[in-house]
Structure 1
Amino acid sequence: MKMLINGKKVDARDKETIAVTNPADGEILDTVPAAGREDMDEALECSKSGFKKWNAISLMQKEKIFNRFYELLEENKKEIVSIHVLESGFSVRTCLFQYQGVPDLFKGYLESAKRLNGSILVPGTEAGHDGKTEKDLQMVVHEPLGTVLTIIPFNAPLMLFAYKVASALCAGNAVIVKPPTTNPLALIRITELLWEAGVPGDTLQLITGRGETVGPYLSADPRIHAVTLTGSTEVGVEIAETVAKRLAPCALELGGNDPYIVCEDADFETASREGINWRFNAAGQVCIAPKRFIVHNSLLQKFTEAAVAKAKSIEMGYGADRRAEIEAYLNRDFNELKPGTMKMNCLISERAAKGVEDKVNHTLAQGAKLLWGGRRQGAFYEPTVLGDVTKDMDIAKDLEIFGPVVPIIGFETPEEAVEIANSSRYGLSGCVYTRDWKLGMQMARQIASGGVVVNGVGVYRNMMQPFGGYKMSGVGREGFYTLEELTQKKVIVMKGFL
């Protein structure tokens, strides 16, 4: 497939390409261009005219364009879901969930844009510089930022494309998309459909290439007026440092090591089932999945047994026929596909699986005990349970493992549980299970993270919420509630108008 620059499908000028493979078996699915500086400069220059075009289109006309996009999306559903399943290694259910969220996000952000009303300040409420404001009309309006660079991660690319691109477009901005290097194909296809629906080809562009090349070059260019990224904390810090030099805004959703606290009085069956299932979902490649299981000592043994039993029951999906599953489930709602016996999909790459393997081995070297799993085959990593984890180990603090690993840490008092939860530099999401709602609220207020769910899993995220993290988990928020973050406020004064 090609890059999408200035309304054209193009190769890199130097013809360099990157292979896109099925991580489950190594099959080469396609190639994409590896963009160079000249390719990126063309997109950056074109985005200036694209911004002017898009900003001149009314919201009513934008809505017509998006309505056509939804039709095209449905017409091309099989192709998009099939591509996404094969290039990502995800289950069909996971891909359907992401696909079905795309139109909802575009619709929601458009409705939010209709409500960016601005305001009129009440005349005569204060003296002003000359003591005369009674006859002045003072208006506060929202204006788009310019060109927004959206950097999309591998683990939820369809949904996060929609969160970032829909919000930027609905706020009136031009957009340059940097899709994930490992699995960009479905996003290329979706961007083509947005062009076909009527979004100008210089308003929305997509540049493929290696993250270490494309991201730094684009974010450093003054023709980029804002950056929104979901990715690692290390990359996020680099982006923040780069754009700070010209005072450009950025929204960063970064790493997390989310605490999952199970108190002595918790509904044990629910707490153990939900936490363990969600940790193993998508092979553990979920930003806001529970990652540190902080369990009261009275329940520690019982919880450990439940985790091991679940891990033992999971079938490894080494030889799964994804194409057959797509045919069987394509037209089902993802909510209908409740897993019975969970089948473990692969990670995004063998490199990612090796990273999980290394971090587990590091934790074992620090004194943890391997209770189940711990073996890798290519890009697959077994569901793994670690016992004897203490609060001073790296995994209990800042070592985020982006894979199907359950480390279990004991605690004695609610204060100790909160202390362990807050010992991490991260603060994305968290959970507390207790039958005492007052205690749950107290602990939720004390946990330093962007969200806390009491008696539920931290993957609770809906489109209205201001989603984001504390500390090194990022800055800025995503959600319909936060569309203003992609605009800037201007005050217009009509002196003596009234």
Structure 2
Amino acid sequence: MKMMIDGQKTGSGDGKTIPVINPITNEVIDTIPMATKEDVDRALEASKRGLKKWSAVPLKEKEVIFERFFRLMEENKREIIGTLMRESGSSVRNGLFQWQGIPGLFRGYLETAKRCDGKLLVPGTEAGHDGKTEQDLQMVVYEPVGTVLAIVPFNAPLMLFGYKVAPALAAGNAVIVKPPTSNPLALMKLIELLWEAGVPGDALQVVTGAGGDIGDWLVADPRVDAVTLTGSTEVGLHIAGIMAKRLAPCALELGGNDPFIVLEDADVEAAAREAAAWRMNSAGQVCIAPKRFIVQNSVKEQFTKTVLDAVSKIEMGYDMDVEAELDQYIGLDFSQLKPGKTLMNSLISEKAAIQVEQQIKKTLDQGAKLLAGGRRKGAFIEPTVIGEVDKSMDIARDMEIFGPVMPIIGFDTPEEAVEIANSSCFGLSGCVMTRDWKKGMHLARNIESGGVVVNGTGTYRNMMQPFGGYKLSGTGKEGFTTLGEVVKEKVIVLKGFLQ
């Protein structure tokens, strides 16, 4: 598949490519170009022309373009979801979830942009530099920030494309998308459809290649006015350091090691089933999935037993037939596919699975006990439950495992549960299970994270929320209330206009 630069589908300047591999079968699905510095320069130069063009398009015309895009999406639904499943090792459930959110994201951010209408300051409310403001018209207006670099991760490329590109386009920015190298194809097809729908090819572009190279070229270039990234904390810190040198904004949604706290007065069996379902969803490759299961000692045995029963019923997708899955589920709404109703998918690659395997081994070497799973087959990791986890172990603190692994950590008092939850360098999301709402609220206020759900998992996210984390989980927010991430605020004063 070709890059999309300045309205043209193009290979790299030197012809080099990167294979896109199905992690289940190890088959090469397609190739993508490995962009050169000259390719990146062409995209950056084009983006400045695209910015002028796209920012001048009225919102009512953007709305027509977006609605045309949604119709094209429906016409290409099976192809795109099938491509996503093959390149990601993903389940059809995951594909439908991402797919169905995209129109809502584009429509919602466009409605937010319609309300980004500035304001007039009340004349004469404070002294100006000459002591008088009564006759001055002071306006606050909003302008596109410029060219936005959207760096999209592998674990939810379609949905997170929507969260990054929809607000940037709605606000009139030009966008350069850096898709995940491992699974870029479905996302790139969506951008082709946006071109076909009417978004100019210099206002929305795609550059592909190894992130360590083209990412640095793009981030360090002053023609990139803002960066939005979902990715690892290591990469986020690197980008923040580059952007800080020129005081350019960046929104970073990074790693997490989210606590799932179960108090003894909770519905323990329901909590355990919820924990297993959402941790094993998408093979554990969800940034806001629960990752540390902090359970009061008086009910830990009951919780563990229920979790083990739940994970024992999970069917692995070693021989997943993508076409059969599509035939069975493509016409359904995502809400009809409850967790556990479809096959558990692989990780994004065998390399990723090996890393998870090593993290499991490290935890066992530190004294924890393997209760279920733990084995790897290619890019698959069996649903894994680990007991006797001490709060001092790496997995209980700063080691984020991006795979289907459930460490169970005991505690005696609610204060100890909060202490364990806050012992991590991360602070993305979390949850508290309890029948006592006041106690749940107290713990939620004391947990250091960008979101806490009482009696539900931290995977709770909707488009209206200002979504983002504390500490090393990132900076900046995503959601309809946060269009300010991709606009600039300007004050225009007409001195003496009201005389």
Bin of the TM-score, shorter chain as denominator length:
over 0.9
Distance 1:485 1:223 in 2: 17
Tell me which amino acid in the other structure corresponds to 1:318: Y
3-state SS, counterpart of residue 143 of structure 2: strand
Native 8 Å contact 2:20 2:30 kept in 1: yes
* Alpha-carbon offset, residue 429 of structure 1: 0.1
Tell me which amino acid in the other structure corresponds to 1:433: M
* Alpha-carbon offset, residue 339 of structure 1: 4.6
* Alpha-carbon offset, residue 397 of structure 1: 0.3
Q: In the TM superposition, what whole-angstrom CA distance separates every residue of 1:91-145 from its partner, at most 9, and x where no partner exists?
A: 1011011011111100000000000011110000011111111010000011111
Distance 2:465 2:340 in 1: 30
Native 8 Å contact 2:317 2:346 kept in 1: yes
Distance 1:270 1:107 in 2: 35
Q: In the TM superposition, what whole-angstrom CA distance separates every residue of 1:340-365 from its partner, at most 9, and x where no partner exists?
A: 55632100000000010010101011
1:291 maps to 2:302: no
Distance 2:70 2:177 in 1: 19
Q: In the TM superposition, what whole-angstrom CA distance separates every residue of 1:301-331 from its partner, at most 9, and x where no partner exists?
A: 1111112212222122111111211122111
* Alpha-carbon offset, residue 371 of structure 1: 0.7
Structure 1 residue aligned with 2:309: 309
* Alpha-carbon offset, residue 273 of structure 1: 1.0
Distance 1:450 1:383 in 2: 28
Matches within 5 A, 1:115-130: 115-130=115-130
Q: In the TM superposition, what whole-angstrom CA distance separates every residue of 1:139-169 from its partner, at most 9, and x where no partner exists?
A: 0011111000000000000000011000101
Distance 1:340 1:210 in 2: 34
Structure 2 residue aligned with 1:437: 437
Tell me which amino acid in the other structure corresponds to 2:386: L
Tell me which amino acid in the other structure corresponds to 2:483: L
Tell me which amino acid in the other structure corresponds to 1:377: K
- What is the TM-score of this pair, normalised by structure 2? 0.99
3-state SS, counterpart of residue 302 of structure 1: helix
3-state SS, counterpart of residue 316 of structure 1: coil
3-state SS, counterpart of residue 344 of structure 1: coil
Distance 1:408 1:284 in 2: 15
Query: Which moves more between the two structures, 322-331 or 454-463?
Result: 322-331
Q: In the TM superposition, what whole-angstrom CA distance separates every residue of 1:423-443 from its partner, at most 9, and x where no partner exists?
A: 000000000011111111110
* Alpha-carbon offset, residue 41 of structure 1: 0.5
Tell me which amino acid in the other structure corresponds to 1:111: E
Native 8 Å contact 1:262 1:295 kept in 2: yes
Distance 2:36 2:183 in 1: 19
Aligned length: 498
1:40 maps to 2:40: yes
Structure 1 residue aligned with 2:154: 154
3-state SS, counterpart of residue 138 of structure 1: strand
Structure 1 residue aligned with 2:265: 265
Distance 2:341 2:251 in 1: 38
Native 8 Å contact 1:313 1:341 kept in 2: no
* Alpha-carbon offset, residue 25 of structure 1: 0.9
3-state SS, counterpart of residue 359 of structure 1: helix
Distance 2:158 2:341 in 1: 26
Structure 2 residue aligned with 1:138: 138
Structure 1 residue aligned with 2:94: 94
Distance 2:13 2:96 in 1: 35
Native 8 Å contact 2:388 2:409 kept in 1: yes
3-state SS, counterpart of residue 25 of structure 2: coil
Structure 2 residue aligned with 1:416: 416
* Alpha-carbon offset, residue 174 of structure 1: 0.2
Native 8 Å contact 2:272 2:304 kept in 1: no
1:213 maps to 2:200: no
Structure 2 residue aligned with 1:188: 188
1:407 maps to 2:407: yes
Distance 1:326 1:310 in 2: 26
Structure 2 residue aligned with 1:172: 172
Distance 2:216 2:434 in 1: 45
Tell me which amino acid in the other structure corresponds to 1:420: I
Structure 2 residue aligned with 1:59: 59
Distance 1:214 1:46, change over 3 A: same
Structure 2 residue aligned with 1:224: 224
Structure 1 runs (4+) greater than 6 angstroms displaced: none
Structure 2 residue aligned with 1:277: 277
3-state SS, counterpart of residue 290 of structure 2: coil
Structure 1 residue aligned with 2:478: 478
Distance 1:18 1:430 in 2: 37
What is the root-mean-square deviation in Å for CA atoms of aligned residues? Answer: 0.8
Distance 1:341 1:123 in 2: 61
Tell me which amino acid in the other structure corresponds to 1:278: W
Native 8 Å contact 1:313 1:342 kept in 2: no
Native 8 Å contact 1:315 1:341 kept in 2: no
* Alpha-carbon offset, residue 383 of structure 1: 0.4
Distance 1:201 1:436 in 2: 55
Query: Which moves more between the two structures, 63-72 or 454-463?
Result: 63-72
- What is the TM-score of this pair, normalised by structure 1? 0.99
3-state SS, counterpart of residue 387 of structure 2: strand
Q: In the TM superposition, what whole-angstrom CA distance separates every residue of 1:397-447 from its partner, at most 9, and x where no partner exists?
A: 000000000000000000000000000000000000111111111100000
Distance 2:478 2:378 in 1: 35
Distance 1:167 1:341, change over 3 A: closer
**Can you give the 5+ residue segments of structure 2 that lack an aligned partner in the other structure?**
none
Distance 1:166 1:342 in 2: 30
Tell me which amino acid in the other structure corresponds to 2:229: L
Tell me which amino acid in the other structure corresponds to 1:189: K
* Alpha-carbon offset, residue 269 of structure 1: 2.3
Native 8 Å contact 2:278 2:339 kept in 1: no
Tell me which amino acid in the other structure corresponds to 2:34: A
Distance 1:493 1:193 in 2: 42
Native 8 Å contact 2:18 2:34 kept in 1: yes
Distance 1:196 1:401 in 2: 39
Tell me which amino acid in the other structure corresponds to 2:377: Q
Kindly, what percent of the aligned residue pairs are identical? Answer: 67
* Alpha-carbon offset, residue 367 of structure 1: 0.5
3-state SS, counterpart of residue 43 of structure 1: helix
Q: In the TM superposition, what whole-angstrom CA distance separates every residue of 1:362-401 from its partner, at most 9, and x where no partner exists?
A: 1011000011111001000000000000100000000000
* Alpha-carbon offset, residue 338 of structure 1: 2.4
Tell me which amino acid in the other structure corresponds to 1:232: S
Query: Which moves more between the two structures, 315-324 or 227-236?
Result: 315-324
**Can you give the 5+ residue segments of structure 1 that lack an aligned partner in the other structure?**
none
Tell me which amino acid in the other structure corresponds to 2:146: G
Structure 2 residue aligned with 1:79: 79
